[in-house]
Chain A
Amino acid sequence: MTWIRGLDRLSLAGLAVLALLVGAALAGTLLGVGGAQDAIVGPRLAPPDGQWPLGTDQLGRSMLPRVLAGIGTTLLLSAVAVAVTATASTLLGLVAGYRGGWVGEVVLRGVDVLYAFPTIVLAILVAAVLGPGRSATLASIVLVTVPLMTRLVKVAAETVARRDFVTSALISGASHRYVLARHVLPNVAGTVAVQGTYALSVGILVEGGLSFLGFGVQPPASSLGALIQQGGIYLLAAPWLLVWPGMVLVAAVLAITVFGDGLRDRLEPRDSRALK
């Protein structure tokens, strides 16, 4: 874990917040902190107090387990989607960047088509095709994050492919597959890691937006977006319904972005901020 030592305080704080959120989600879903998220336990729209730390919602469910479950759903969906994105983009980007020529053009134009859609329109389109739910959310996040990551991996792979050590490896008789796996991939791994963190925050926002519009995670399941959507209805009567998930969403996106910046400074020093 030597890379953690090179991070500045801001990114470490981001990492800490992220760890806290993951811990909270685990505590809620695995340890059952705050009770069951879908049980009606008290009066409706009760403000936060000792018994219900975050208040209750319009059906009398405690908000604490619902927010914890929401964090879990949102983070899990985004993380799985980003893993899929990272795998797909790395494969496509490596081949496109290393091989170049018409293969590279086809891949690039392909992701350009996806790039042309506004994020939320694309997500709604996917939800319309697949039907609202988790799989639609997952697919949306992947389709939204694949274009940028593929492009950046392609550019990185292209740069690496022109470096002398690749020529050197080819001269020594290495196959293209070997060069890709042993020389190009490790050299673009930093780009993938950095873009992965950014994609994670995009994923959280896409999940939020899609669930907010009613195309994402469906009730009674909880996600940050679904909670915000329901909270919006009771904004004046019970602002805590909106405030908790909203704050968590902002904190998560901010933490991930800040951490991603730190990671980029660490892994791609040449592209980093010149002024500190």
Chain B
Amino acid sequence: MTVLLHVEALVVEYGSGDGTVRALDGAELVVEEGATVGVVGESGSGKSTLGAAVGGLLPAAARTVAGDVRVGGVSVAAMTPLQRRAMRRDQLGYVFQEPIGALDPTMRIGRQLGHVLRGQGRAAVLDWLERVALRDPARVAAAYPHQLSGGMAQRVAIAMAMASEPALLIADEPTAALDSEVREEVLDLVFTLAAGAGTAILWLSHDLPAVAKRCSRVAVMYGGRVVESGPAAEVLVAPRHPYTAALRRSVPSAAGRGERLVPVPGQPPVLTGAAVGCAFAPRCPAVLEPCTVDRPPLVGDLDRDVLCHLPAPVGAAR
């Protein structure tokens, strides 16, 4: 498999001086063509910043301090504006958390979708609306975004993101704003369309089991770094990083009846500069002396990468 997306030691900061916040602190991520990768982390772990960085869509207040993002082998930072535009158009699709906000309130659905389809005509618009399982495509095409329900709007947004059959679809918590009944349908849709078009998915979420259920690979983010990555089933069943293990124990559906949930103690860190040691050390149950002074190295073997001074051995449950 060829590498589609390579995020290399990416460091991104917001603001400057005393107000600096480090959102990414050396994040590493590889997405192969056609792969489905779930990025899991708490709010503030840097996953949205990571998603934006891939498209060169970081806000003006963000600075890329170090590292690189390469899409199809080409560095996003080194692209000319024209190349970047072409890269976004041909290779990327985004689905956002807030479906209504992803649609222009002043434009009818049909016209918006028509723009993305680049003059392929009304038949193509209706065809796409049908492909995302919207009943009565003609009516939806004539509607304004505020006349749609959240689920319908998200289907339209998915159609718009997938219309160019991109190489990579970045979905930033695409179901967080939806009813629980609609969630699975929308996810089914995303994964079916992506599989059909050979599109790789980068799914940003905070829900480890949900991600592990659908994705081939999982990357767990903490404090602006990817602390563990590997095949979804292995990461979920036998986490090597203590944070992944803690995350797994705090999920309601994973616990047996009558079993107590174990919350992760403490608060996620807000970094103002490079973390001195391991960002998770203050909350880690198995903290060692080097954890607070040395940045943990990347320990990788057998397709499993983990950032820890004391990683659990491969295959052993933590």
- Show the binding face of A for B, using Cβ within 8 Å: 100-101, 162-165, 167-175, 182-183, 186-187, 189
Q: Are B86 and A173 in contact (CB under 8 A)?
A: yes
Look across to chain B and name the residue whose beta carbon is closest to the beta carbon of A168.
B102
Give residues of chain B (38-64) contacting chain A, Cβ–Cβ below 8 Å. Answer: 55, 57, 59-60
Q: Are B60 and A165 in contact (CB under 8 A)?
A: no
How many angstroms from the CA of A169 to the CA of B96 in the assembled complex? 13
Given A169-B115, A171-B92, A183-B104, 10 further pairs, Cβ under 8 A: A162-B59, A164-B98, A165-B102, A168-B103, A168-B161, A170-B57, A170-B85, A172-B160, A182-B107, A187-B106
Q: Are A101 and B60 in contact (CB under 8 A)?
A: yes
Inter-chain contacts of B178 with A (CB < 8 A):
none
19 contacts between A and B (CB under 8 A): A100-B60, A162-B59, A163-B101, A164-B98, A164-B101, A165-B101, A165-B102, A165-B104, A167-B55, A168-B94, A168-B96, A169-B115, A171-B94, A172-B89, A172-B115, A173-B85, A173-B86, A173-B90, A186-B106
Inter-chain contacts of A182 with B (CB < 8 A):
104, 107, 115
On whether A171 and B157 interact (CB within 8 A), knowing A186-B107, A187-B105, the answer reads no
Does B164 touch A at the CB level, under 8 Å?
yes
Does B116 touch A at the CB level, under 8 Å?
yes
On whether A172 and B164 interact (CB within 8 A), knowing A100-B60, A101-B60, A164-B96, the answer reads yes
Look across to chain B and name the residue whose beta carbon is closest to the beta carbon of A183.
B104
Does B93 touch A at the CB level, under 8 Å?
yes
How many angstroms from the CA of A168 to the CA of B96 in the assembled complex? 9
Q: Are B96 and A170 in contact (CB under 8 A)?
A: no
Inter-chain contacts of B88 with A (CB < 8 A):
170-173
Q: Are B85 and A167 in contact (CB under 8 A)?
A: no
Inter-chain contacts of B93 with A (CB < 8 A):
171
How many angstroms from the CA of A125 to the CA of B93 in the assembled complex? 54
Look across to chain B and name the residue whose beta carbon is closest to the beta carbon of A186.
B106
Q: Are B106 and A164 in contact (CB under 8 A)?
A: no
Interface string of B276-287 (1 = CB under 8 A from A): 000000000000
How many angstroms from the CA of A30 to the CA of B59 in the assembled complex? 55
How many angstroms from the CA of A158 to the CA of B116 in the assembled complex? 23
How many angstroms from the CA of A57 to the CA of B241 in the assembled complex? 93
Q: Are A168 and B157 in contact (CB under 8 A)?
A: yes
